[in-house]
A and B are shown apart, each in its own frame.
Chain A
Amino acid sequence: MSEKLTPETDLTKPVTPVSRQGKTSSRVIEHFVAPLEETPLAAIDNVDETAAPLSLWADAWRNLRRQPLFIISALLIVLVLVVAFVPHLFASVDPTSCTLNDSSEGARAGHPFGFTLQGCDVYSRMIYGTRASLLVGVLTTLGVLVVGGTMGALAGYYGGWIDTVLARLADIFFALPLILGAIVMMQLPAFRDNRSVWTVVITLVIFGWPQIARITRGAVIENRNADFVTASKALGLSRFNALVRHVIPNSLAPIIVVASISLGTFIVAEATLSFLGIGLPDTVMSWGNDIAAAQPQVRNNPGVLLWPAAALSVTVLSFIMLGDALRDALDPKARKR
């Protein structure tokens, strides 16, 4: 059965004008027929049915490998990760040994970006500041995924009063802007006295989880009545196990996309909190702290502010681009054929 089964006529050409009976008009009417989007039967027959179908993830990976946006952002993220883990490979100057002699000096050999007001090397501080900023972003995203993901999955899967309570709870936290909530939180004695990466992470998680909860809830609702869930229940899987083993894995795609984008926004939030003086303590080297410290001198020595800001922006940008690329790859419907 290998003969071609598609019609032989070329459908892109206008069909020859037909003289319609009973009409007196002498106008020639041209009929255009759109080309049929058809896969020849032979092509379908040739598909090897024994081969396992590509999973969503394998398919996405095949698509991602060819996307320049993904490659650029992934390379940048790998670079940032390496810098965060082994900063001494990239900067030979100790960022904490500062001499006031160099206060606000310009660039010179070995110090490409000049010096801060305290005479510290701007480049070296930028490199060593990567770790804290990235740590806050990654830990907050993980925390938000655990809290928001659990809440959203339970609310979407079980519905009913759990859904109502969680939705109202999320509304309360949604109505409070992240920065406002964080300012109030960080004033609490327990937080103010132990300022560290962890307090910032906890604060950002408390006010950042509703977004992931909403996305998870929506994705779970979409999947909870799918045929594969009914099938797994028919095979004797308990309701909860069906959620954990089938619904959640199938709802992961949109959650991962949003998580990747929010990782960037959490890094910005940390910088904003540090900028307001309530984020990381001064002893922790971070981009946000450096930007905040450079702020009074911005009119005389803008470079001190601009370099850490640039590092921050590039990092955030790469996470947003990664999220964008993932969104395209994980949504086969939106992908161009």
Chain B
Amino acid sequence: MVMFTLRRFLQLIPVFFGATLLVYFLVFATPGDPIAALSGGKPMAPAVEAALRAQYNLDQPFWIQYGLYLKNLVTLNLGQTFSGQDVSAVIGRAYPVTARLAIMALSIEAIFGVLFGVIAGLRKGKLFDGTVLVASLVVIAVPTFVLGFVLQLVVGVQLGWARPTVSGAAPWNELLLPAIVLGLVSLAYVIRLTRASISENMNADYVRTATAKGLSRTRVVVVHILRNSLIPVVTFLGADLGALMGGAIVTEGIFNVPGIGNLLYKAILKGESATVVAVVGILVIVFVVANLVVDLLYAWLDPRIRYV
């Protein structure tokens, strides 16, 4: 298993370089001169401009820029934004917010998704099952931003149950509404996956054996059926965690959450290559690590799966 983990981390290397190179190039190719924008479009003293260009390596060709960026990365220096802040500090401020949001959304998905999925799967064809299925389809079909606006309007403005937008510190309770919006779509997928998996496993031989041994219904469902049905669900949740940790550009925009998604969106529009590439790099690492954790969870859920 150690070898497996090591190999997965080795596989991370080409993906990391490929993704950062791709994004670095895309941002490089984006028009607009960030240095000229610093002076608000007015002409700048040539010496100052040259110094600024040299400071951000903008006077170098693309490959040297990317190489210098990588060189700094090795020493964990993520560079500076064009307004002079350390990128690591900017990310350090935004990341906890996104992490809180992601944890809340993921908990909502996991708890309610598995719960509803199990109930629907056990009562396949009944009223609850049908309702949940139709509701989940509708949620999947409605775009996130429409869902966000409607919930913001109804819960935040008309009913006044929650603040429509999140304040600067982004405490847990204010993040609840955006977390629900963020979690709803994946919640629908989790419900459908769990339901399909449960109803498939319900007729398996080992379930009949467990029932025949005289185990209680709860134990059969929770220990035997659920554990064997969780693999596809865990796969999905892992991929989703990677996506959530990358920040949700749309949801964070609607609720004004000062997280990674917001940061990324603004950085792309401003051509802040250092910030964009740093965020994408983190995103790739989180994505790969989340998938690795999922793979390791498989072995725990199903002891037949071994990694060598």
Contacts and interface: CB of A to CB of B under 8 A. Distances in A.
Interface of A: 168-169, 171-172, 174-177, 179-180, 183-185, 187-189, 192, 264, 268, 271-272, 275-276, 291, 295, 298-299, 302, 305-306, 309, 312-314, 316-317, 320-321, 334
Interface residue tally on B, bucketed by range? 35 or more
B153 A187 contact: no
Contacts of B242: 175
Contacts of B144: 272
B92 interface: no
Given A184-B268, A295-B149, A320-B141, A176 B30 contact: no
Interface stretch (B73-81, B105-113, B282-290): B282-290
Contacts of A313: 138, 141-143, 146
B18 A317 contact: no
B149 A276 contact: no
Contacts of B200: 334
Contact of A316 (B27, B141, B268): B141
Nearest to A34: B208
Nearest to B287: A175
Interface in B1-51: 11, 14-15, 18-19, 22-23, 26-27, 29-31
Interface string B89-110: 0000000000000000000000
B170 interface: no
Nearest to B281: A175
A295 B31 CA distance: 28
Contacts of B30: 184, 187-189
Contacts of A172: 14-15, 18-19, 22
Contacts of B146: 291, 305-306, 309, 312-313
Interface of B: 11, 14-15, 18-19, 22-23, 26-27, 29-31, 137-138, 140-146, 149-150, 153, 157, 200, 242-243, 246, 249-250, 253, 264-265, 268-269, 276, 280, 283-284, 287-288
Nearest to A184: B26
Contact of B23 (A168, A184, A192, A334): A184
6 contacts: A175-B19, A175-B284, A295-B149, A317-B137, A320-B140, A334-B200
Given A175-B287, A291-B145, A313-B141, A299 B246 contact: no
Give the one of A169, A172, A174, A189 with max B CB within 10 A. Answer: A172
A262 to B, nearest CB: 12
Contacts of B149: 295, 298, 305
Given A183-B265, A305-B149, A317 B15 contact: no
A180 B249 contact: yes
B142 A176 contact: no
